[in-house]
Amino acid sequence: MENNKRPENMARITTPELANAFIDEQVAAVRAQVGDKKVLLALSGGVDSSVVAALLIKAIGKQLVCVHVNHGLMRKGESEQVVEVFGKQMDANLIYVDASERFLSLLAGVSEPEKKRKIIGNEFIKVFDEEAAKQEGISFLAQGTIYPDILESDGVKAHHNVGGLPKEIGFELVEPVRLLFKDEVRVVGEALGLPHSMVYRQPFPGPGLGVRCLGAITRDRLEALREADAILREEFDKNGLAEKVWQYFIAIPDMKSVGVRDGKRYEGWPAIIRAVNTTDAMTATIEEIPYPLLHHITDRITHEVEGINRVLLDLTPKPIGTIEWE
């Protein structure tokens, strides 16, 4: 049985030296646990699963089989980054599954938020199971469980518990960062050589853009959302907000308004900007984005993104608004 209690004298990992000591210790522990067997990991590209992947690649190389499921609801460039970093740079045993069509077909016409989440969560497990069944000799399942997940069984991830894998999947677990806090996971990730943008990525929900393309998802509105979100992220990056703001994104409702483009009537969707700060995601405050930057982002989104003709700013704290719109 694995130890799930953080020892009271365990030092907070804040420096590369402490991170390297942790990595050496875990590499040895993983090798001892796994031996010459194979380990499967669902690699979303989020901070936790990415750090676990990098750690296990260091420990057991090709005995790790990473599966990245692209559900078609990733942000722009994310799946590509997973393939580039893990498949190419780290030469991992990576299986990339483009399941976009499956997810988008199942979601067509479904407008109820919890139903959408369930479809995405269930289909994710199905795709992952199918890939697992194709692999021979897997004995372990690696997971990016971190200490807050253990502490708050009622926490954010448990509350939204979708996109995760069911406990009964039947493999012994490998959870090398289970005693770490998020900030420590990041320090370890950097020491393992992962890109800064991956290690300091903002939280992103399992159902991805699915809960931001509000109501019944259509491919054209999803594409507009992905492009608008990419512009917002680029501008936050350039203007020093990316590392300051806890979570920021675009949501697009299922409605159109009248506008004018090139002297002609142009009906389009509004893009809603949401940028919040929080420590635990249970309450949140609004980031005050400078007006000149808001004007610039509005200009770019309305000119560069097909289908969007207005940009709005969500000023609602949590409570009363949740962070996501769905």
Residues 162-181 interacting with ligand XMP (rule: CB under 6 A)? 162-163
E runs forming strands in 127-280: 138-142, 172-174, 247-251, 260-261, 264-265, 269-277
Report whether the peptide linkage leading into residue 319 is cis, meaning its omega lies within 30 degrees of zero.
Answer: yes
Closest CA to 326 of 247, 274, 251: 251
Residues 102-141, mask of contacts with ligand XMP (x by CB under 6 A): ---------------x------------------------
Nearer to ligand XMP, 206 or 270 (CB): 206
- Is residue 312 packed enough to be buried (19+ CB in 10 Å), middle (13-18) or exposed (0-12)? middle
> 209 and 73 in contact (C-beta within 8 Å)?
yes
Closest CA to 278 of 319, 246, 241, 316: 246
Q: Is 210 in the site for ligand XMP (CB under 6 A)?
A: no
Q: Is 310 in the site for ligand XMP (CB under 6 A)?
A: no
Stretch that binds ligand XMP, among 57-65, 183-191, 294-302, 317-325 (CB under 6 A): 317-325
Of positions 37, 160, 256, 300, contacts ligand XMP by CB under 6 A: 160
Of positions 87, 203, 253, 259, contacts ligand XMP by CB under 6 A: 203
Nearer to ligand XMP, 140 or 204 (CB): 204
Q: Is 205 in the site for ligand XMP (CB under 6 A)?
A: yes
Q: How many CB atoms lie within 10 A of CB 214?
A: 22
Residues 279-298, mask of contacts with ligand XMP (x by CB under 6 A): --x-----------------
Q: How far is the CB of 127 from ligand XMP (least distance, A)?
A: 17
d(CA 227, CA 272): 13
> 105 and 210 in contact (C-beta within 8 Å)?
no
Closest CA to 213 of 252, 159, 239: 252
DSSP codes of every residue in 245-300: -SEEEEEB-S--B--EETTEE--BEEEEEEEEE-SSSSSBEE----HHHHHHHHHH
Q: Is 247 in the site for ligand XMP (CB under 6 A)?
A: yes
Q: How many CB atoms lie within 10 A of CB 32?
A: 9
d(CA 6, CA 26): 15
Q: How far is the CB of 74 from ligand XMP (least distance, A)?
A: 13
Residues facing 275 on adjacent strands: 248
Nearer to ligand XMP, 163 or 307 (CB): 163
Q: Is 268 in the site for ligand XMP (CB under 6 A)?
A: no
Q: How far is the CB of 238 from ligand XMP (least distance, A)?
A: 23
Nearer to ligand XMP, 81 or 316 (CB): 316
Of positions 72, 207, 268, 270, contacts ligand XMP by CB under 6 A: 207
Q: Is 215 in the site for ligand XMP (CB under 6 A)?
A: no
Stretch that binds ligand XMP, among 19-27, 47-55, 153-161, 256-264 (CB under 6 A): 153-161
Number of residues that bind ligand XMP (CB under 6 A): 17
Q: Is 58 in the site for ligand XMP (CB under 6 A)?
A: no
Binding site for ligand XMP (CB under 6 A): 117, 156-157, 160, 162-163, 203, 205-207, 211, 247, 281, 318, 322-324
